[in-house]
Structure 1
Amino acid sequence: MQYINLFCFCAAAAVSTKASATDPFEDFHSYGDLPDDEIHQQHQGELLYGDVEFGLSLHQGNTKNTSFKLKSNLYQDLTHWRNQFKFDGLYRREKNTDTGDEDVSAARYFTSGQANYKLGDEKASFFVYGDFEKDRFNGKEYTATFALGYGNRVFEGRKNTVDIDIGPGFSVSKIDDEEVLAEGEERTQTGSLVRFAMQWQRIVSKRTRFNQDVSYERSLSGLNSRLFAESSLVTQVIGGVALKFGFTYRYNSKPEADKEKVDTELGATLVYSFN
């Protein structure tokens, strides 16, 4: 069996539109040294900065498997607003070399945007949040969420910071056309919810950082509630090269028929700073 694993390049970079920025990726070298607040201060007023992650996995043998992953986390830090944009995409195609059957086994795309209006000392904010998810294999054609509320930093220490957001919102989802509806069930569903999000960041060492992101959307209309949690550890190896370990947990309280409530993803990626 020939096994090729290219899992893979991840660019963690600052993308700047300032004329004085000579290298949009050079700030990765400060990843383990600076807390997020100082990183935001360095890029205040810039159009976009953040990180972009790319992963590719190829497997050849009795089964041919190709996986592609693209993930980004971009920011804008303006005088009164701090905006965050996320994208997370996964695509996997498999082929049985004995039968010749080929099919897509994963196709998920998630994007979100959040605008935080800074209040007082800038630790507190008023936020507006929206996301859109399309997963070919969860029984929904799409799911969209909108929420607004209050955010604040609830803990700040020498190595740890904890930020939370909480507020009301609503969701819109459409059941896939191939799914059979129960009696009285509508294909497009809307309902109110409460959204809670937490970001915990811990500086483990000079070159290593641990991040824990959690978001929970509790339905108030009897629809499905969603939980998303991502744990990641990034450690700089040498120069612009770092190694990232990540674990993602997704929970849906009321999945469609024959679908699982829990979906997990575990991966290790190589992070490289392009200089």
Structure 2
Amino acid sequence: MNERVKAHSISPLCVILLLLAGAAQAGDWGDEGWSGFGELGAVVTRGNTDAETINAKTRVRYEEELWRHTLQLEALKRAEEGATTAERYLGNFKSDWKFRPREYLFGALRYENDRFSGYEYQASAAVGYGRRVIDTERTRLELEAGVGVRQSKVRDGERDDDTILRGAMFFERRLSETARFGQDLLVQAGQDNTEVESVTSLTAAINDRLAMRLSLTAKHNTDVPEDREKTDTITAVSLVYNFW
């Protein structure tokens, strides 16, 4: 159910700023402890055309009085007539230190391997400041800004090390007791290339554990090899299982 249209280490100073900035005050962001989900979409066709598509995602989060840690993993693979036509793997890890009720400092690591993007991999590490701008029963909006480093390697073997500015937005709106709309946006801008990733989703709960999700992911690189498109999109319909 997917359609494809086509590190450096953090410096010691950044780590000190992340861990020692200001006097800590607890933030009340929701239930403490573990939360997470697994998401799977798969399509297999046989007959005149043999094709298989698998889209899998998982996110695990642990939250306590002063900290929030989030691990996210994604995998996408599509094959037609025995030939792979899409293959992408993504890993994200982020830690947030809630030093005020709606403000936090974060450290983020990201690694992406997209076989058909023209890059062998793109890896980044960033630190910065985030704020929960809106926090009501129905609406949540978080904004982040930071700096970091990125290492990219293209398929021909050339490697590029770059300093980046990182901006992110996380928006969620509860449409009803069982449905919610989400919009996540990530921008990582460097001297040679700017990455923009947008994930738009609509989730409808089936019961306490299961839900259906319709999502559109758009990934844009301003600098790609001549034989590659700058923008890739993935449309997916998936079944979501909430672990906790």
Q: Normalized against structure 1, the TM-score is what?
A: 0.74
Structure 2 residue aligned with 1:143: 122
Q: Counterparts of 1:52-201 in structure 2 under 5 Å?
A: 52-95=38-81, 102-121=82-101, 123-177=102-156, 187-201=158-172
Structure 1 residue aligned with 2:14: none
Q: Counterparts of 1:11-90 in structure 2 under 5 Å?
A: 37-38=29-30, 41=31, 44=32, 46=33, 48-90=34-76
Structure 1 residue aligned with 2:184: 213
How many matched pairs? 219
SS in 2 for 1:206: coil
- Higher strand content, 1 or 2: 2
Q: Which has the higher contact order (CA 8 A, sep 6+)?
A: 2
Change (3 A) 1:254 1:158: same
Give me the whole-angstrom Cα distance separating, in 2, the residues matched to 1:237 and 1:173.
Answer: 41
Q: Once the 2 structures are TM-superposed, how far is the Cα of residue 156 of structure 1 from its aligned partner?
A: 2.8
Unmatched segments (≥5 aa) in structure 1: 8-35, 96-101, 180-186
Encode CA deviations 1:94-137: one digit per residue, 9 max, x unaligned.
11xxxxxx31111110001001111122x211100110011111
Give me the whole-angstrom Cα distance separating, in 1, the residues matched to 2:212 and 2:110.
Answer: 29
Question: Is 1:261 aligned to 2:217, yes or no?
Answer: no
Change (3 A) 1:134 1:273: closer
Identity of aligned residues (%): 28
Structure 1 residue aligned with 2:216: 247
Q: Normalized against structure 2, the TM-score is what?
A: 0.83
Specify the structure having the higher radius of gyration (Cα): 1
Change (3 A) 1:170 1:54: same
Give me the whole-angstrom Cα distance separating, in 2, the residues matched to 1:195 and 1:274.
Answer: 30
Write out the 4+ residue segments of structure 1 that deviate beyond 4 Å after TM superposition.
Answer: 238-241, 272-275
Unmatched segments (≥5 aa) in structure 2: 3-27
